[in-house]
Amino acid sequence: MNGLEISPFIAALPKVELHVHIEGTLTPALRWRLARRNNVPLPYATYDELLESYNVLYNHRKEVHGDNGAPTFLETYFAGTQVLCQEDDFYELGMAYLEKARDMNVRYAEPFFDLQAYLPRGIAAATVLNGYMRAQREGAERFGVQSNWIMCFIRDRPVEEGIATYEAARPWARIPGGHGLFHAVGLASNEYDRPPMLFEKAFQMAKQDGLHTTMHCDVDQKDAADHIHEAIFDVLGGHGTERIDHGLNALDRPELLQGLASKGIPLTLCPHAYHRRQATDVLFPKLRRLWELEGVKWCINSDDPTYMHNVWIDGAMEKVYHYCGLSKADMVQLSRDAVEISWADEKLKAELLQELERFEEKDC
Ligand code: ADE
Ligand code: ZN
């Protein structure tokens, strides 16, 4: 991880994770085991070859750089989902993340899931969602990590397919009479020529059901700032989304920063994901600037840790701590901000804030 070790302070800091794709936590070991269990062929002859495939940077985008024959990041990520077939597979993936979260002192998480990736393969919504729901319940009991999950629309697939997926998932939503697995919808995958407003109808449906809304505005993509503009000012009948995932290009235009601040829309940032593409002395001054700005809240997350050099939330926090030159008290404040940005219920938020207060008295 760029030579940084996780310090005892960052390891012990109580954490909240709001931007992690559950499919982006699939370890090579679990992928290998599930491929065998489900007779899914992998394009790697040996486990070492599979491990090696995780070392690639996946920096190029076909629309921008042309097809160089290598898979893009998202192609690699979706290839990983092929080994997930049975309810137990989804359960084990969820439990593996929540156990790892416990080990990193993550107390609460809001993992994304891509149901839409499985339905075209003939996997029933119930198979996926019952597996994740068992993990949600057991992970809270066994590991003490509470979670509310987020269903993402896959934005480079047809909008109507996303809406049909939402309808299939609805019984597992946190709505009256629902199972309570997920409490929000998001927007992920390739945003090239797929702005947030295309999904207005889908977001309106979820909002009417009382769910929260968030959307990816990935960093330095084509039209990134325009997508942020739509997410703040246009979506949901002009009310705007409740949160933006990434959204770092808001720094490019003053009206975007003003919009985030005035509407109280926070950013879930994933510093290591950007550090793969931006130099240290370019990226971290931007985060430092965002830290010093009044009014725009943000928090630190991992995104897709197993496909991003195995850097998890603790590694992402260590980078911000070290390269932004923040104090211990600043890092506690970032954890506090994550609690406030989260959609945990008020009781849990109060408990987490109390724990952070005790931690600050003892460790800062
Ligand atoms: N889905 C999973 N990981 C993603 C990422 N890093 N960007 C956009 N969509 C994603
Ligand atoms: Zn993401």
| Domain contains 70 | yes
pLDDT of residue 77: 95
**Helix, strand, or coil here: 67?**
coil
Which tokens go with 217?
């505005």
User: What range defines the domain where residue 142 resides?
Assistant: 8-363
Which tokens go with 254?
């003053």
| Domain contains 160 | yes
| pTM for this model (two decimals) | 0.98
% pLDDT > 90, the chain:
92
Single-letter code of the amino acid located at 28 = P
* Ligand 2 centroid, distance to 176 Cα (angstroms): 28
Q: How many helices (H) and strands (E) does the chain have?
A: 16, 10
pLDDT of residue 97: 99
pLDDT tens for 179-237 read: 999 999 999 999 999 999 999 999 999 999 999 999 999 999 999 999 999 999 999 99
Mean of pLDDT values over 123-131: 99
- Cα 124 to Cα 118: distance, rounded to the nearest angstrom: 8
pLDDT of residue 63: 80
Helix axes 280-292, 313-323, angle to 10 degrees: 90
Q: What are the C-alpha distances in Å from 121 to residues 86, 125, 150, 166?
A: 12, 11, 21, 17
Reply yes or no on whether the pLDDT at 1 is more than 60. no
| Domain contains 2 | no
Ligand 2 is an ion; residues with CB less than 5 A from it: 303
**Helix, strand, or coil here: 93?**
helix
| Domain contains 206 | yes
Residues with CB under 6 A from ligand 1: 21, 24, 77, 188-189, 216, 218, 303-304
Reply yes or no on whether the pLDDT at 56 is more than 70. no
Our count of domains for the chain comes to 1
More confident residue, 63 or 293: 293
**Closest CA relative to residue 243, chosen from 269, 210, 223:** 269
Mean of pLDDT values over 112-118: 98
| Domain contains 1 | no
> Do the Cβ atoms of 288 and 325 come closer than 8 Å?
yes
| Positive/negative CA dihedral, 311, 138, 131, 241 | negative
* CATH number of the domain to which 125 belongs: 3.20.20.140
- Cα 54 to Cα 211: distance, rounded to the nearest angstrom: 35
Average pLDDT over all residues of the chain: 96
| Domain contains 3 | no
| Pocket test residue of 78, 114, 216 for ligand 1, highest count of atoms within 8 A of CB | 216
